[in-house]
Amino acid sequence: MWRALGKLGVLDGLYDAAEVNTAEVDTKRLDVLLTELDARQPLGTVLAVCVQVASAIPLLRSAAHVSPLARTVAAEAQRGEAVLALAATDAAASGSALMNMGTRARIDDDGVTISGGKDWIANGGACDYALVLARHRPARHFTSFCWTLVPARHPGVRRERAATRHFAGADVAHLRFADVRLDRAHVIGRPGRALAEFARHIGAERLAGALWARALCRRVLRDTHRYLSERPADGGSLWHNQAVRERFARCLVEWSRLDAMCAAHTATAHTGGTSAITDGMVLKAAYAQSADRILGECADLRGAEAFSDGPFGDGGLAGLRAQAAMFGIAGGATGAMLAAIADNAADLLGAGARGEAEVPWQRSG
């Protein structure tokens, strides 16, 4: 799939061909790509593509001006000639606790030595390169991290297939690095800037997740509407049951909220800034909750049929719902997002929430 997308020019079309240092993704084309893939491919295959086009390639492109290797590998990936894994989730810490990261990069004048492990990495079992987030200084500080581009077949790299029957096509694996020695060219970007770059690009990743969740939920809603309209009940169909219609209507309202958020975030993509980071967290939490509610309700409405293989692949809609739980886990757990959102309550609610806004009739004189 990845090679075919590259050969057809689909991957190149997501980025500005005239400026390799520009990491921004064309969100309209990304939306079309994810929608088409969702309609035709299993969830794991879409995940394998999404993590590369929305995260790994943009990070490499952003470092292309200082890292020739990043430029080369990004170009290979866009041609479909190299598969990338974004290795951030650490074996020594929970996914969101980056400051507790155990994977280390010891940088010296001659090169870099990588040690540690990464867990639950999409494309980890099939990648040519892993873009590894590692600690290069012991201090628990934002500037203590760097990116390293590790060839997956380099001595000292070991891959362990994740023990799961879900996400077929994503080649999810755990990566282990036993004093992997590389030259300095494999340190991507400037040491100390890794988390800043990660934060700068995380908005695109979260928008990609929202666009994908929107497409997935729309597909499930359409098929569930068809099922309810065709399923006989009480001389008519399930669709004529008022309670069923109300439950389905609530799903439509939830999907409309998600659709509106996608439209708003697509319109303001690439604006950057602190508010963009907070807005991205809100979007991440929102689409995870929307997907869970919609898929859960549709599965309930379909009853035992939700477990039958069919348009949603092995395990049916129930199996798809289980896999879609990754929307609330991958790229930051919903609980972590909500905690950070609460920390930014005053900014999200605006100056008026702090009693700082002036209204016309309060002006003196």
The full DSSP string for 318-345 is: HHHHHHHGGGGTTTS-HHHHHHHHHHTH
342/254 same-domain check? yes
Residues 75-117: tens digit of each pLDDT: 999 999 999 999 999 998 876 678 889 999 999 999 999 999 9
pLDDT of amino acid 185: 96
Type of residue numbered 82? A
Q: Are 87 and 158 in contact (CB under 8 A)?
A: no
The CATH code of the domain that includes 105 is 2.40.110.10
Please report whether residue 244 resides in a domain: yes
> What are the pLDDT digits (tens) for 131-178?
999 999 999 898 999 999 999 999 999 999 999 989 999 999 999 999
The answer to whether residue 253 is domain-embedded is: yes
- Whether residue 239 is found in the same domain as residue 322: yes
Q: How many domains does the chain have?
A: 2
Q: Judge whether 26 lies within some domain.
A: yes
Same domain, 228 and 186: no
Give the pLDDT score at 330.
83
Low-confidence ranges of the chain (pLDDT < 50): 351-357, 365
Nearest by Cα to 62 from 184, 193, 150, 192: 193
Q: Does residue 129 sit within a domain?
A: yes
Cβ partners under 8 Å of residue 341, min gap 6:
278, 281, 282, 285, 348
Shared-domain flag, residues 135 and 254: no
Residues 177 and 203 in one domain: no
Q: Provide the 10 A C-beta neighbour count for residue 128.
A: 16
pLDDT of res. 106:
97
358 falls within a domain: no
Backbone angles phi, psi at 119, to 5 degrees: -115, 150
Q: What is the pLDDT of residue 355?
A: 45
Are residue 149 and residue 220 in the same domain, yes or no?
no
CATH number at residue 310: 1.20.140.10
> Is residue 354 one of the residues assigned to a domain?
no
pLDDT value at position 354? 44
Residues 116 and 184 in one domain: yes
Q: Is 356 exposed, middle or buried, given 0-12, 13-18 or 19+ CB atoms closer than 10 A?
A: exposed
Q: Do residues 150 and 212 share a domain?
A: no
Would you state the pLDDT for residue 120?
Answer: 94
Say if residue 188 is in the same domain as residue 201: no
| The last residue of a domain, from among 150, 176, 192 | 192
Residue 352 covered by a domain: no
Contact (Cβ atoms closer than 8 angstroms) between residue 40 and residue 32: no
Last residue of a domain, one of 164, 192, 220: 192
One domain for residues 115 and 230 = no
Using the 3D structure, point to which of 144, 177, 192 is the last residue of a domain: 192
297 and 155 within one domain: no
Distances (CA, A) of 336 to 46, 50, 247, 288, 328: 24, 22, 29, 13, 10
Pairing of strands 145-151, 187-188: antiparallel
Q: Is 43 helix (H, G, I), strand (E, B) or coil?
A: helix
- Using an 8 Å Cβ cutoff, are 230 and 304 in contact? no
Tell me, yes or no, whether 10 and 37 share the same domain. yes
Dig out the tokens for 77 from the structure.
């990936």
Within-domain flag for 150? yes
- pLDDT at 144 (0 to 100): 94
Q: Say if residues 111 and 182 touch (Cβ distance below 8 Å).
A: yes
Structural domain containing residue 131: 2-192
